[in-house]
């Protein structure tokens, strides 16, 4: 069974799906080893880690594709990929979908922002027309080689034009055949409930939990009760690692050694166990003369 088909079966099964965010092979592997059924490749986290820059449209299609390939080589669970705006018009969307699918994406998320896009929880966004976004959704559907590849349509309309426009766009994207709907950045519980009531019984709904962002944090079960099926935590992994890294560097600068923080890290042997060093070396030994 393909990883895209497995994702569709998860979407059809009872209960919410939690997809933690990753940004490379190691973080994706940690998600799989922790027992999660799928992972989310965050475009913002790629910008943060590869470029050391904010999520304002600086990353390229091929940079994201490289990360997808590295992750797919290492994990078997479905991978949901943030495809931003598709990196251009409908023809760019088609190239993006074909490339991401070939590299190992199980689902591809497309948004209705103009170029250059911004993180969904930053101010100053603007939208393409409904017609342009509908064309992108159709282009994505036509481009996929595997009918099971999931197309996620995202609207950023709440921050730009308000909830009513977001609901109008969400309805249009569902009618165009989007497999999953993502209404970005509801501002409070009332807006979350309105989105769930409008669409939760029509299509799987995605909720985006960003620590410190515009949407109140809720558990997956709480969001499921409002009508949401797929809950992503796209940046939590990176926020945890970044804070731990800053604390490590402060301790090293202060103490000149890591001896005092050994209890807060995996040592050499433990990390090699996680990434499977012994098994890979044993596999290589099969090919020695």
- Tell me: cis bond preceding 116? Omega within 30 of 0 counts: yes
Integer angstrom CA distances of residue 23 from 66, 75, 118, 248 = 11, 13, 18, 21
Q: Is 43 exposed, middle or buried (0-12, 13-18, 19+ CB in 10 A)?
A: buried
Q: How far apart are the C-alpha atoms of 2 and 11, rounded to whole Å?
A: 14
Number of Cβ atoms within 10 Å of the Cβ of 208: 25
The per-residue pLDDT for range 156-193, each reduced to its tens digit, is 999 999 999 999 999 999 999 999 999 999 999 999 99
- SS3 sequence, 28-93? HHHHHHCCCCCEEECHHHHHHHHHCCCCCCCCCHHHHHHHHHHHHHHCCCCEEEECCCCCCCHHHH
DSSP state, residue 232:
E
DSSP state, residue 113:
B
Q: Which helix (H) or strand (E) holds 154?
A: strand 150-155
Find, among 227, 207, 202, the residue nearest to 217 by Cα.
207
Tell me phi and psi for residue 103, to 5 degrees.
Answer: -80, -15
One of 1.10.490.10, 1.10.287.620, 3.30.70.1110, 3.20.20.60 is the CATH number of 3-241, namely 3.20.20.60
pTM of the model: 0.96
Looking at residue 23, its pLDDT comes to 98
Structure tokens at 278: 């012994």
Q: How far apart are the C-alpha atoms of 138 and 142, rounded to whole Å?
A: 6
Q: How far apart are the C-alpha atoms of 43 and 189, rounded to whole Å?
A: 26
Do the Cβ atoms of 182 and 232 come closer than 8 Å? no
pLDDT truncated to tens, each residue of the chain (289 aa)? Answer: 899 999 999 999 999 999 999 999 999 999 999 999 999 999 999 999 999 999 999 999 999 999 999 999 999 999 999 999 999 999 999 999 999 999 999 999 999 999 889 898 988 899 999 999 999 999 999 999 999 999 999 999 999 999 999 999 999 999 999 999 999 999 999 999 999 999 999 999 999 999 999 999 999 999 999 999 999 999 999 999 999 999 999 999 999 999 999 999 999 999 999 999 999 999 999 998 7
Domain chopping of the chain, boundaries: 3-241
The per-residue pLDDT for range 88-105, each reduced to its tens digit, is 999 999 999 999 999 999
Looking at residue 116, its pLDDT comes to 87
């Amino acid at each position: 069974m393909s990883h895209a088909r497995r994702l569709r079966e998860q979407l059809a099964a009872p209960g919410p799906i939690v997809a933690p965010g990753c940004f490379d092979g190691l973080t994706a592997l940690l998600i799989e080893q922790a027992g999660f059924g799928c992972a989310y490749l965050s475009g913002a986290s790629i910008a943060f880690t590869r470029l050391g820059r904010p999520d304002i449209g600086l990353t390229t299609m091929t940079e994201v594709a490289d990360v997808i390939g590295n992750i797919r080589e290492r994990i078997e669970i479905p991978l949901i990929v943030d495809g931003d705006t598709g990196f251009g018009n409908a023809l760019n969307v088609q190239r993006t979908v074909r490339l991401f699918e070939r590299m190992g994406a199980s689902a591809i998320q497309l948004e209705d922002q103009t170029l250059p896009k911004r993180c969904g929880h930053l101010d100053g966004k603007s939208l393409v027309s409904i017609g342009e976004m509908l064309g992108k959704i159709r282009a994505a559907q036509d481009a996929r080689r595997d009918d099971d590849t999931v197309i996620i349509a995202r609207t950023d309309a709440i921050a730009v034009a308000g909830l009513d426009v977001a609901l109008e766009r969400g309805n249009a994207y569902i009618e165009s055949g989007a497999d999953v709907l993502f209404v970005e950045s509801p501002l409070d519980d009332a807006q979350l409930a309105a989105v769930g009531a409008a669409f939760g019984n029509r299509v799987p709904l995605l909720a985006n939990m960003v620590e410190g962002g515009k949407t109140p944090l809720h558990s997956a079960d709480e969001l499921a009760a409002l009508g949401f099926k797929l809950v992503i935590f796209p940046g939590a992994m990176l926020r945890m690692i970044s804070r731990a890294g800053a604390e490590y560097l402060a301790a090293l600068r202060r103490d000149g050694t890591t001896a005092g923080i050994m209890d807060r890290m995996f040592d050499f042997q433990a990390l090699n166990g996680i990434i499977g060093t012994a098994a890979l070396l044993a596999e290589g030994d099969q090919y020695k003369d």
